[in-house]
Amino acid sequence: MTIELKPLPLPDSAEPSHFINFGREVKGIHPGNCTFEQLEDIKQTLYQHEVLLFRDVVLTPEQQLKLTKAFDPESEIYGHGGKLESEKSSILHSALHAIPRVPQVQLIGNGMIHNHEGLAETRLKHLTHKTFHKTIISPEDEVKGFTRFYRWHIDAALYDLSPPRVTTLYAVRVPEGPNQICRYDDGTGDELEVPLATTAFVSGQTMFQLLPSELKSVAVRANVKYAPHPYVWMAPAHAKSTGLGIESEGLETPLEQLPSWVEDKIKIHPVSWKNPVSEALSFQVHPCCATEVMIKPLPPGASRENALYPNGAHLKELSEVRDLLYRMQRPAIAPSLVYPHKWTDKDLIIFHNRGVLHTVVGTLQPDQVRVYHQCNLAASEDPIGPSNEDIIKWA
Ligand SMILES: [Fe+2]
């Protein structure tokens, strides 16, 4: 190993026993300019620890693309494809601005930007729960610093393209301001103090490991079918107050009103994805985009005591699909299991997009300028699900 590692700085809210293996700061090398051996070490280390932080890095968009591509040399295009600009009905449209020279790198953030990397004048909009959740924090509570998670997700088009292996997120400029309190507002009383404009991460492995045995059994037997053009499909709908999925109100765009689509490009992915180094299973579902869950029957010889869906099932009712996924995913976003990164200028984070869920958090004023570069690439292949041994072990 040619690189030096340090644990991530955990906030007081985090339960250290759940973060023993999660996240590392990498010291002493420049991630945009490192040797082949260092790059190989970075890749292995990322898959082992899911999130890597580099401090005080000066990184061009070209270097960022090169670093991102190193994880999947055959990947070429941005994770959501190249058509976001014309897809005005997509819920992502207003948040992403491709850097003209390197369109796989997106400018994201908040506030007015002038002459930035070839973009003359751009208004960046921090994504806020107020445009997405069914209920919102009252103006009085917002003044007191209360806020919400925006949307827990994997970075992935989930139609036609394969989910990126990694995302790189580079903080050019971080806004200053007091911490905010992220409220769950789901009747649990849960809340989490977070740095202003944090990015919050949870571990997909923890999400899997927390499940009781009958739900682990479902998690290794189930596949999720995603909507065609899911970000257009979900755009009129409202999210739950935790940002972990959509309320079932029948507001999704009807399939016949979506941009043209074909059945062949619809994505069906396993619920649990295998880590390429540790081979551990991560619970990797984008709950907002899911439409159906297909569950295989228990394998021969598996105990049927307390088993859920022992003969398999095909859930097509959106509310039933969402209820099941929420029951499986909500425990892992408990405040003590969230890593809310406290950004400083020139931080670079690489995260294993197939091993974590993450979300934008918080509310920014127009003068709180946030400038980030984000890059991920549609992968050269789909994620791998549980092996036969995994199914026998967990089902
Ligand atoms: Fe993201």
Residue 253 gets which letter from DSSP? P
Between the CA of 151 and the centroid of ligand 1 the distance, in Å, is 9
Between the CA of 375 and the centroid of ligand 1 the distance, in Å, is 10
Q: How far is CA 107 from the centre of its chain?
A: 17
Q: Provide the residue type at 349 as one letter.
A: I
8 Å CB contact between 90 and 378: no
What are the tokens at 96?
A: 């992403």
Residue 149 gets which letter from DSSP? B
**Coil/strand/helix, residue 58:** coil
Q: Please say whether the dihedral angle defined by the alpha carbons of residues 90, 358, 309 and 281, taken in this order, is positive or negative.
A: positive
Between the CA of 307 and the centroid of ligand 1 the distance, in Å, is 34
Between the CA of 122 and the centroid of ligand 1 the distance, in Å, is 20
Q: E-assigned strands of 298-360?
A: 313-315, 339-341, 348-352, 356-360
List the pLDDT tens digit at each of the 395 positions of the chain.
Answer: 678 999 999 999 999 999 999 999 999 899 999 998 999 999 999 999 999 999 999 999 999 999 999 999 999 999 998 765 446 777 777 778 899 999 999 999 999 999 999 998 889 999 999 999 999 999 999 999 999 999 999 999 999 999 999 999 999 999 999 999 999 999 999 999 999 999 999 999 999 999 999 999 999 999 999 999 999 999 999 999 999 999 999 999 999 999 999 999 999 999 999 999 999 999 999 999 999 999 999 999 888 899 999 999 999 999 999 999 999 999 999 999 999 999 999 999 999 999 999 999 999 999 999 999 999 999 999 999 999 999 999 99
8 Å CB contact between 149 and 361: yes
Between the CA of 153 and the centroid of ligand 1 the distance, in Å, is 6
pLDDT, residue 83, reads: 62
Between the CA of 376 and the centroid of ligand 1 the distance, in Å, is 9
Between the CA of 221 and the centroid of ligand 1 the distance, in Å, is 27
Bridge partners for 105 per DSSP: 375
Cβ contacts of 16 within 8 Å, gap of 6 or more? 10
Cβ contacts of 178 within 8 Å, gap of 6 or more? 145, 196
Give the residue ranges of DSSP H helices in the chain.
36-49, 61-70, 139-143, 204-209, 213-221, 230-233, 318-329, 388-394
Let me know how long the chain is.
395
Between the CA of 167 and the centroid of ligand 1 the distance, in Å, is 8
pLDDT, residue 89, reads: 74
**Termini Cα distance of the chain:** 37
Instruction: In whole angstroms, give the CA distance from residue 337 to residue 360.
Output: 16
pLDDT, residue 85, reads: 43
Q: E-assigned strands of 140-257?
A: 146-147, 166-173, 180-183, 191-194, 199-203, 222-226
Instruction: In whole angstroms, give the CA distance from residue 71 to residue 377.
Output: 10
